[in-house]
């Protein structure tokens, strides 16, 4: 089956052939956990710049055309991210904590210029790992991530 992806910003199209798409794939891509209004509200509440919010809105409008179906792939990904954010706040807190710690290291005169670009991603990753460990203790997050990955697997590169 021919899959056509459309860049929401430029309108540029990318095509590829995918063989194993079935009705379960289309059903899982059609159903959303959060409403469009809830997603928009979640993005609005983020403490990020208006440009970053606009990028998220643009990303949420990304679509792919599979045969005669149009799949809101960007909206589905944002839906999953918001769901994980709501259900697993420890991972999110860990990432934010790491980012703040990295920012503080970067703010140190001279030393921050040298270490900031190296330490910040490491601290974010460490914060996420610690948060992920806490959330994975009951294995629910691992199952959720595996389920999300399985839903998108028919679109994987061959």
Predicted local distance difference test score (pLDDT) of residue 111: 67
Tokens 């061959």 sit at which residue? 158
C-alpha distances (whole Å) from 107 to each of 45, 82, 94, 98, 121 are: 26, 30, 20, 14, 15
Inter-residue contact 154 to 25 (CB < 8 Å)? yes
**Rounded CA separation 20/1 (Å):** 8
Structure confidence by residue, pLDDT tens digits, 57-115: 887 877 788 777 788 888 888 887 777 777 777 777 777 778 778 877 787 776 677 77
**pLDDT tier, 153 (very low <50, low <70, confident <90, very high otherwise):** confident
97 CB-near residues (< 8 Å, 6+ apart): 127
């Amino acid at each position: 089956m021919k899959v056509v992806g459309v860049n929401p910003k430029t309108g540029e199209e990318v095509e590829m052939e995918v063989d194993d798409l079935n009705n379960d794939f289309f059903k899982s891509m059609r159903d959303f956990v959060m409403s469009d209004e809830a997603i928009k509200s979640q993005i609005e509440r983020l403490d990020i710049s208006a440009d970053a919010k606009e990028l998220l809105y643009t990303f949420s409008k990304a679509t792919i055309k599979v045969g005669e179906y149009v799949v809101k792939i960007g909206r589905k990904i944002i839906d999953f991210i918001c769901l994980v954010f709501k259900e697993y706040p420890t991972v999110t807190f860990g990432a934010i904590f790491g980012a703040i710690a990295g920012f503080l290291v970067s703010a140190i005169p001279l030393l921050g210029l040298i270490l900031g670009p190296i330490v910040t991603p490491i601290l974010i990753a460490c914060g996420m790992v610690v948060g992920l460990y806490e959330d994975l203790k009951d294995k629910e997050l691992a199952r959720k991530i595996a389920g999300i990955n399985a839903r998108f697997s028919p679109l994987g590169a061959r």
